[in-house]
Structure formats: C-alpha cells, structure tokens
Structure 1
C-alpha cells in the first residue's frame, strides 16, 4: 500500500474486508483518495502563505518594539554594589532610564570604596589675621600614589593668614600629582562645605573621585608651616548612604586638552629634513621642550611613532597614541577613502582649570653657540676647541648668519650654513634663536606639527560644572562626590533642567525592577507564540532557555512558569526571603556575569543579529513541491483503479460465494486485465514510479 505522509498531515488508514478470520487489509478507493490527496494541505498552506505575506512586515516591526522594551527593562535592572541587606542602596531612576541615559550616571559606592573628596581641612581664620610664623622659606612634602613632591613657600614678614593659605594652595596645585587645594570662605560651620566647621578662610585639600590614588599625606620638611595650618584629615563615614532626594543639573561636561594630527598615509615619504626637530608643550604656563629625532627617508608612519615616543617619554602628563583612521585616497582609480593613521596627544589627569598647549619650536636643532660675534675687527681671540659663534656681520672670512666652530687641530674655523627653521640655543642670551631663511630671530619657527595638522589647541579642554541641590561643583573629570563620598554623579552631557534623583533602600527597588523585566518578558512571549508559524523553529523558546536552565534555582526565589503559554510569575515574598537568606548568591543568580539578566541579554542580542527578519521562516518552506493539482487528481484516480484490481485478485472471499463460483474464464479475464494495467502503472517510467 502506497501513502504520502506530507509534513505529518496525512496518515494512512486501513479497513478490513471479509470475515474476521478470512479478511485481509484493504483500503477502499474513497478512503485512499481522501488520505493521499494533498488538496486539504494545499488549501491550508495557501492560507499560510497569505498570512505570511500580509503579516510579516507588521509582525516583525511590532516584535522589534517588544524586544526593545524587554532589553530596556533588562538595562534598567541593577543590583546594589554593597549587598549587605542593611547597607544596600540604589539611585532611582536607573542610569539606563530615559531621564538619565546619556546625561548623567549615578552610583552608590560600596563601603570598601568610599573615600572623601575632601581629604584635609585646616583651621579657619579671618584672612587679615596675622600668623605666628616668621617670614622666610618653608618647605613641605606631599605624597600620593607612591610619588613624593615638595612645595617651597616664601612668606613675607607681614604675611597674613589669607596670604599663607593662598600661597599653600597655589603651591599644591602646581604639583604634577593629582591632588588639589582650594581656599574656602564661609561665615558659619558647614555653610558651603559639608563637614567643614571652620569659619573664615580655610584650606581644603581634595582628590577627585576619578583618581585611582586616593591616599594623600603631607609632612613639614623645613619649618612648621603645616603645623601652623593645623591640617586635620577627614574621616570615612561608617554608615550607609543617606536615603534622600537630589536635584542635579549639568551645565558643562569635562574634556581634557587634546591635539590631533591629520589622518595620514603611513607609507608616504616624510617631507621633513633629517635632524632633531623640536616641539614645546605648556601646561598652565609651565613649559618644556621636546626633541624629536628624525632620520632621512623615513615614512610618515615612522614620523608619527617617533613623535609619540618623544612626547610620552618627556612627561607623565602627556599621553600620545597612534590611532587608525580614514583619509581621502586622492586617486581616481581607487576608492574615495583609504586606511590611514593619526596621532592624538592628550593631557593626562588634568586638574581644575589645567590646559595643555603644543606648538612647533624649530628644527632641525644645531649645537649651542656661545654668542653672536661681529668679526669686523677681528676673529675671536684665544678660542678653545669646539667654541661656536654665529657671525653677526660679514668680514675676515666669516659670512653673516653662518655658524663657525673652532678646530684646534687645524687651527681653523669650520663653517656651517643654516637652513630654514634651524634652531640654536645661545648660552650668552639664555635664549633660542630660529633661522627664517635670511636671519636669526627669536620668532619661533618650525614646521613639524604644522605639517602634521596639529594645531596648538585643537581641543582646549573644559571642566565639568555640575549643580547639585543648587550648589555648583567644578570637576576636572566630570565626577562629583556627595554625601561624604558615598554617592557619585558623573556628567555625561549638558542639559538645562535639574533632574530629580533619589537614593533608596536597594532591595525594594530591585524587586520593582525585576517585576518590570518579568512583565516585559511575558509581553514578548505572549506576542511571539501566536505568530510562531512564520518564524524559525523554536524561536519563542530563545528567551525561555534562560528560565528552563535554572528552573529549580529560580523557584527558590518565587519565580515560576504558569499557564500553557509558560509565562512567568513572581512571588514577591518568596523573592525577598531568598535575597535576605544569601544576598551574594542572589546577586550571582540574577545580576552576575552568567546570571539570568546576562543570559536574557545574550539571547536577545542573538535573536536580532543581524536583524529579526533573519528569524522568519523562509518562503521556500511554504512552497508546494508536488505536481499540479490536475495531474495529482489524475494520478490518484489511476492508483485507485490499480488498488481495486489488485484487491479483486488477492482478496479471499467466503466459499460458496456465487461471484467466485464462476468458470476460470472470469478469473483469467481478471488476470489478463491486471497484467495489462501493471506495465503502464508500475513498470519503468510508469505512473507509480512517478508517485514515488
């Protein structure tokens, strides 16, 4: 018996003919026609194709919004960094919320990370008050992050308290260490600075919360200046962050000073003359020259690397990095853009108000000279070997502007003709001179940075200005610590209105955010299930796998599936009991790297990569692979006829049946007919072979 089971939708059925003892399996023509025909399946599939074409675009777009809502709920979910049930705090709304996202990030530090922004306070006095120190030189040291630097202070005999604290603050701020000092003036305790009880002018020593080296110590080295200031270290709070509201506005964000070159072809030939070129950087008025040794036949990539190395080795305050970029190819036969490289120089750990400037400072640099010398009367008398001068006039064999160096072996003056931008240091004048092609002047020359496109202050830098509850705080990093260092705000973009935030007890907030996640999950699953037929197999269970893989674990927190759709429900009381029993284990289950939220995020990312349309059932799966309907019907009729004839020849009938008590002639006729039909139906190339 032949039957076609198409995608499990058609099943074979048998009936019995004859007595229970004598009958044999027999499929009637009508039954076989109903069972083997795909007309019903084709009708249903045509409906599916219509639904597919009509619904696919709208369904995928709506699905995208459901997935986005689920991912947003996952992003808003957070676990407190301090898991202690009594100390745990969170800031609401979440950093991923529409209110804060991209504007402001808020964080409650765990107890072991809490550090005060204000490290030391001095006593306070009216600024005109005299001090008990005599005029003279004083020195103290500042140690931070294993580095120690000293500050020298020169006090006048009539220096006042205000003079002294201003000088000390300026001296500390001039250090390269990321510690700063400010003078606070207040008329009542805690008026402007929480924890500062001094009245009048007081010195406050601070470290920005973004700085890794938070420990600072100071010690008198020469004199008793610090003792006179009566500096006292602040204490770290021992209790949890206060549950309270804040209103925060960001007027400006922080940007460190930086300079970038053009994006260059690293394989192009360098246009610079061989020799030591010179650049100068300035940080808040403190300058330093840096020599950049370039060789002949360098490439531009090599020039960038030599310059970066020279800047990085000159000061810990500069960071020079080579980055990849895209540049115009300049070739008609090539793509418009080609790979390139550029150099970026950034000021490291800037202090409030610090700016960095970078400029050319001549080059190639030639050896120092003693002075300019006029040879009109005579050449220098009694020169020593290596003595060098620049001729300020032409006479006695010397030519104006050329450099002359005495060689005692030959007792002659060796001549060097300067080239454009040659730079020389004059010991007599304690000054640099630059050759402009016709004369030596103090006008700064040089083309290295200019040719690379590195303008002096491409990004001049800016401090963040954050207003917390009406008080403006200036931060060089954009981070602001409040509540004695327990709460930190980070400015990400400026905005006009003050955002309302609140520090709350954590686990009630965790419970609410988990409820939002579960609601979004149920909404997503309830949408996908009715449309599963147009998506790939198992699509609805992509997100459910994170549940089934930890079903028993989640049950301990009151999270289980219900209804035939396998939606989620959370028993809040059981959830809180589980959290209180072991907060660290709960954090690992829900917010750890391999936790529920992380697995859901991975599943969601996988589902929409490259996009949700890729998860649709391919249209080819809905195409009918069988023959045309007319041919199908004809094949079915022929097959049915063969089955009828075969059954007549093989089915046993009861004895005495008058139909079988005829002569052998009838049986022979049946045999002949069956043989005649078998060849076209079942032989090679016959209809049965086409049926498969």
Structure 2
C-alpha cells in the first residue's frame, strides 16, 4: 500500500503581508545619465585620438572615388545636336594612360581619301593602257573656292606607276590643300579603305582639318582623268549615320610640327650692326620659291629692321608668316667686378610655315645673286639673329591605328570613314580610343557615381559624431538643389534644414535618380533615365553638367574644396609636418576627467603604459565594484 502526501504552500499569518527580500551587492552610487553622456563623449574623443589619421584617409579615399566617377562621365558627342535618338548617341574617350589624341564626332563625316582611280598593272605601258597619245594633258583642281590648272606630260615609254606618280606630283605641288598618292594593293581595302580595285591606282585625299568639302577635278586638255576613271570614294558616308562602336589601338610615332625659325632676342632700341642698303633673301616652301628684299637705313634700330623684315616677307609670299615677338633678353655684359647675367625685355623675329603639305619644309637663305653684294649682308643678318642655327625643321604626324601607319600634315586623322576625327596632342607612345554606344556607357558611369556617393554617405552617417556637424547633409545638398520647387538651397551651399524631398524632386526623376530609406541613399533607374533622355535631352544634360546648376560639377567642386582632416570633429586636427595631435575641451568636471592639452602619439603611448602599471598595482578611484571602469584613461 502506497501513500502520497501533497504539501500546499503555507498560508500567511492573519494580518501579515508577504515579505520579499532581494539580495544585491552594493555597487556604490549608480551611474547617472549625465555621467553616461560624459562617458560617451570621452569615448568619442579617445576614439578620435586613435583613429583620426585612418578616418581622414578613409574619407579621402571615398571622396576621391566619387570625384573619379564624376570626372569619368562623358556626354555623347553627337547627342542631341546630330541625332535625337539616344540609341544612336556615341561617346569617344581615350583609354587608360596619357591621352595621345583629342577625339570628336564631326557634324559632317568625310574620309581622308575622296577619289580613287581604277586599278592598273604595274608593268603596263601608260599610253597603250589608257589609249592616249603621248603629250601634255591639263586638268583643273578646285577646292574651297580656289582653282588651279595643272599639267602632266605623258611620255611614250611611261609605265602606269610612272604616270600615276606624275599626276600625284602635280597635285601635291599645288597650293590647294589636296594630296594625291599611288596605292598598291593585292586585295580590296588592304591599304586604302574604300578602294575595291587591286593593282596600282591613284588616291586623291583631303586632310579632314580642311573640312568635308570635295575637291573638283576636270579635264581641260585631253581626257587623262577620264581615262584614269577617277571616281568618288564609294564609302563616303551619306546622311548622318553614327560611328560604329569600336576600340582602336593607337601608337603615336611622331607629332606634327611645321618648320619654324626663331631668332635670338635683341635690344629693340639698339642700332643693328648691318650695313645700310638693300638686303635680299631667298625662300623655298614646297614647290613655291622666290626672293624678297628690304632696305636698312643708317639710323634704324633693331625694332625698325625686324618689323620691316616681317612686313616685307608677308607681302611677298604666302608660304610662311613672319612676326616680331617680345622675349626675355639675356646679356653677359656685367659691370666690371660683377658676375652673372643681365636680363631684360627684348624683341625677336619668328617665321612659321603655313599649311604645309606632307613632306614640305621651309628654307630661308641670303640671295647670293643679288646686286651690290647684298648676299653677304643678308647672310650676316641671318647669322646675327641666329635664325638658321635655331630653326626647327618640322615633322609630319605619324600615327599607327590598329597596326596600320598613317601620315598626315597637319596632325588630324579620320577613322570610320570620317565619322570620328582625331588630333594628336603631342604625346608619343601607345594608347587606346573607345567609341561606345553612349546610352550604355552613360548608364554604367552614372551607376558608378551612384555607388560612390552611397559609399560616402553611409560612411559619414555611420560615424557622424566623428565628423563636423552636417557634413553628410552638405554632400546631399546638390541632390536637393535639383528640385524645381523653391527651396533655400544652392548647389554649393552648406547644409541647412530642408523639407523632405525623398524621391519627389522632378530634377532627380529626369536623371533616373531617387532617394530611398531613412539614410536617403540613391537609387538609379536606367529606364527612367532613358525616358528623360528621349523627352528632353538638353535639360538632362543641363541638370548633369551645367556649371552652377549641374549635379556632377557641384560634387566635383565639393571634392576639390573638402579637406578630409578639417572634416573631422573638433576633437582632432592635424599639424602640418608633425604627428597627429588632439586638442580637446573636456566637459567632465574633476575628478572624472582633467583638462586635456595637445599631445602627440608618443605621449599618449607613455600615458597608456603608466596607467596600466597603476592598474596592476592596486585599486583605482575610477574602478567600479564590478571591476569595470567609468573612463578608460589609457587611450
């Protein structure tokens, strides 16, 4: 038999209230909210001591990332002026490294080669092949409202390559900005894009620097051009088709430089050591040559002589321009007993070749055949001024595009049958050029800008107490300024309290941007951006790029003006040329926190070591009963 007993709780005695006893250790005085606040302040100050250099560096890296993304953004070259379709918009940008060329999309596309003849056998007799009699043949060349008549002699024993060279020489010796050359290729387009004929042929070209106008060639005596079957390049673009997206490999081999002469600087008021009388000069520039002379008077100064030379030279020919320029003059004629150079203003003479064709160089010399032995005086004039000694011979521009070398004078090149134009910048080396569909590249670049801005904003908000008040709002200000409503905010202003414009600003919507979340981060909607481009591309460009209104210039200006060290809270600052120091004004009265003075990192480390030593030796008035400290003074 099993018996179970159930015990009930004892009832309280009549009239007695239940007693509850709570045991807790005596922790001493509780930490009040005021002390907690001061502890938090001290913790931030100590954090700044340790992390000020790293914070400034992290801030600088994020600002520079945003600045690079802003700088990399490129608006299409042909949109909306040349095409209103965003899908046909194109951007042209240099690749990584120093840019070798400046590139743009011209209003009117035109290739370098404007005419081609048909192809011929290189061993064929010219007269027999063309069905022409030996003799002289004439034709006119018209370009940019100027016309020349050219003559070519066809000999009985000439081969086709000989005749093609003769026609090219006649064109190249003319003053018109038209070039001609012989092309030899074994397959269509091998050496001349657009030329489908093989064998030997003639190409007539115009440097794109002189526009897209076609030269006009007409037979005037005989039918030489008709026999050559000279026809317009079939690949000259019609209409306004956009360039094909491509990536070009570039190698700059030599920069364009016309022939130039530059004299030494002379005292403009001094008398030149020249014999009075007539001084004659000879010049040669391409096929043009001639002479001119000037008179020298007994009372002339250098200024009189140099200006008279420039006027006479410019009136006598069109192959070069002469001018006087002010330049620093250096003289070693120091007073006796003194060393050094005397420096002062002087006058110099410059002569620069104008519009030279390929291979053309300017030459100037004294005319030895002039009367009264003026040739000797002319040579003396050139020698005194050092013109021949300081001459710059001149070079043609040479650029290899995808391995194919091209030579131009001046240094302007055409790609994609003239839809893209390049001008060499003077740098020599290798690089790349990217022709891209503008919409895709703009979307990618704006996404980079958005990510860089969000990274910066999150960093500033996460540790806002460590930075100057309102720093995050300052970087947000350009976004708020895009709102068309009346807001008291300009693009470069400082942050002030503003109405919430999250996602409601029409300016942001046109750019496909909107703010989201409590942190007001950016979201980029490429579909909305495409809609804005299609509806009002000029306003989108203005909102993005206009100085004083555009979002990207505003951020670029902020990046240039923001000093990451000054952006930290007042607890920390940097001393130029020294270690980081901390100047703090403590809000804690004694004995919680003594007044602080500027200290270096070495001093802070010494303090840390001493405080840890005291902790190991015994009690500390700042210890809590639990063993934790109100303030960690060791830093």
TM-score, length basis structure 1: 0.62
Distance, in Å, in 2 between the alignment partners of 1:213 and 1:262 is: 41
Confirm or deny that 1:353 pairs with 2:348.
no
Alpha carbons of structure 1 residues 334 and 544: separation in structure 2 relative to 1, 3 Å: farther
Q: Which residue of 2 aligns with 1:116?
A: 111
Alpha carbons of structure 1 residues 88 and 283: separation in structure 2 relative to 1, 3 Å: same
Measure how far apart 1:567 and its partner are. Answer: 5.0
Distance, in Å, in 2 between the alignment partners of 1:472 and 1:113 is: 24
**Matched residue SS, 2:142:** strand
Alpha carbons of structure 1 residues 566 and 218: separation in structure 2 relative to 1, 3 Å: same
Kindly indicate whether the alpha-carbon contact (under 8 Å) linking 1:558 and 1:572 is maintained by their aligned counterparts in 2.
yes
Pairing partner for 1:425 from 367, 370, 374: 370
Measure how far apart 1:149 and its partner are. Answer: 1.8
Measure how far apart 1:456 and its partner are. Answer: 5.5
Q: Which residue of 2 aligns with 1:98?
A: 96
Measure how far apart 1:168 and its partner are. Answer: 0.9
Confirm or deny that 1:475 pairs with 2:408.
yes
Kindly indicate whether the alpha-carbon contact (under 8 Å) linking 1:357 and 1:457 is maintained by their aligned counterparts in 2.
no
**Matched residue SS, 1:320:** strand
Q: Which residue of 1 aligns with 2:480?
A: 548
Kindly indicate whether the alpha-carbon contact (under 8 Å) linking 2:100 and 2:429 is maintained by their aligned counterparts in 1.
no
Kindly indicate whether the alpha-carbon contact (under 8 Å) linking 2:67 and 2:556 is maintained by their aligned counterparts in 1.
no
Structure 2 matches for 1:467-546, cutoff 5 A?
Answer: 467-493=400-426, 499-522=431-454, 544-546=476-478
Q: Which residue of 1 aligns with 2:384?
A: 451
Distance, in Å, in 2 between the alignment partners of 1:277 and 1:536 is: 75
Distance, in Å, in 2 between the alignment partners of 1:269 and 1:54 is: 71
Measure how far apart 1:530 and its partner are. Answer: 8.7
Alpha carbons of structure 1 residues 233 and 261: separation in structure 2 relative to 1, 3 Å: same
Alpha carbons of structure 1 residues 496 and 276: separation in structure 2 relative to 1, 3 Å: same
Q: Which residue of 2 aligns with 1:577?
A: 531
Measure how far apart 1:63 and its partner are. Answer: 6.2
Confirm or deny that 1:256 pairs with 2:258.
yes
Alpha carbons of structure 1 residues 527 and 124: separation in structure 2 relative to 1, 3 Å: same
Query: Highest CA radius of gyration, 1 or 2?
Result: 1
Measure how far apart 1:173 and its partner are. Answer: 0.2
Measure how far apart 1:120 and its partner are. Answer: 0.9
**Matched residue SS, 1:220:** strand
Give per-residue Cα distances to partners, 1:121-173, cap 9 Å, x unaligned: 11222132333222222222212122222212222244443332211100000
Give per-residue Cα distances to partners, 1:177-224, cap 9 Å, x unaligned: 211001111223223212112222211110112224643112223332
**Matched residue SS, 2:187:** coil
Q: Which residue of 2 aligns with 1:80?
A: 76
**Matched residue SS, 2:370:** strand
Give per-residue Cα distances to partners, 1:45-97, cap 9 Å, x unaligned: 9x9899699958x8777766655554443332212222232422234xx32x5
Kindly indicate whether the alpha-carbon contact (under 8 Å) linking 1:464 and 1:474 is maintained by their aligned counterparts in 2.
yes
Kindly indicate whether the alpha-carbon contact (under 8 Å) linking 2:64 and 2:559 is maintained by their aligned counterparts in 1.
no
Gaps of at least 5 residues in structure 2 are 1-33, 80-84, 484-505, 576-581, 591-635
Instruction: Pick which of 536-545 and 468-477 moved more.
Output: 536-545
Instruction: Pick which of 201-210 and 307-316 moved more.
Output: 307-316
Distance, in Å, in 2 between the alignment partners of 1:301 and 1:528 is: 65
Measure how far apart 1:588 and its partner are. Answer: 3.6
Q: Which residue of 2 aligns with 1:89?
A: 90
Distance, in Å, in 2 between the alignment partners of 1:613 and 1:275 is: 72
Distance, in Å, in 2 between the alignment partners of 1:292 and 1:614 is: 67
Kindly indicate whether the alpha-carbon contact (under 8 Å) linking 2:281 and 2:378 is maintained by their aligned counterparts in 1.
no
Q: Which residue of 1 aligns with 2:177?
A: 178
Distance, in Å, in 2 between the alignment partners of 1:560 and 1:593 is: 22
Confirm or deny that 1:344 pairs with 2:350.
yes
Structure 2 matches for 1:651-666, cutoff 5 A?
Answer: none
Kindly indicate whether the alpha-carbon contact (under 8 Å) linking 1:246 and 1:500 is maintained by their aligned counterparts in 2.
yes
Measure how far apart 1:464 and its partner are. Answer: 2.2
Kindly indicate whether the alpha-carbon contact (under 8 Å) linking 2:265 and 2:329 is maintained by their aligned counterparts in 1.
yes
Measure how far apart 1:601 and its partner are. Answer: 7.2
Pairing partner for 1:290 from 289, 292, 297: 292
Alpha carbons of structure 1 residues 334 and 521: separation in structure 2 relative to 1, 3 Å: farther
Alpha carbons of structure 1 residues 516 and 598: separation in structure 2 relative to 1, 3 Å: closer
Alpha carbons of structure 1 residues 530 and 103: separation in structure 2 relative to 1, 3 Å: farther
Kindly indicate whether the alpha-carbon contact (under 8 Å) linking 2:286 and 2:362 is maintained by their aligned counterparts in 1.
yes
Kindly indicate whether the alpha-carbon contact (under 8 Å) linking 1:139 and 1:150 is maintained by their aligned counterparts in 2.
yes
Alpha carbons of structure 1 residues 244 and 599: separation in structure 2 relative to 1, 3 Å: closer
Instruction: Pick which of 557-566 and 238-247 moved more.
Output: 557-566
**Matched residue SS, 2:209:** coil
Give per-residue Cα distances to partners, 1:562-603, cap 9 Å, x unaligned: 566655432222212222333344334334566626633772
Q: Which residue of 2 aligns with 1:148?
A: 147
Distance, in Å, in 2 between the alignment partners of 1:160 and 1:318 is: 37
Measure how far apart 1:104 and its partner are. Answer: 3.4
Q: Which residue of 2 aligns with 1:203?
A: 202
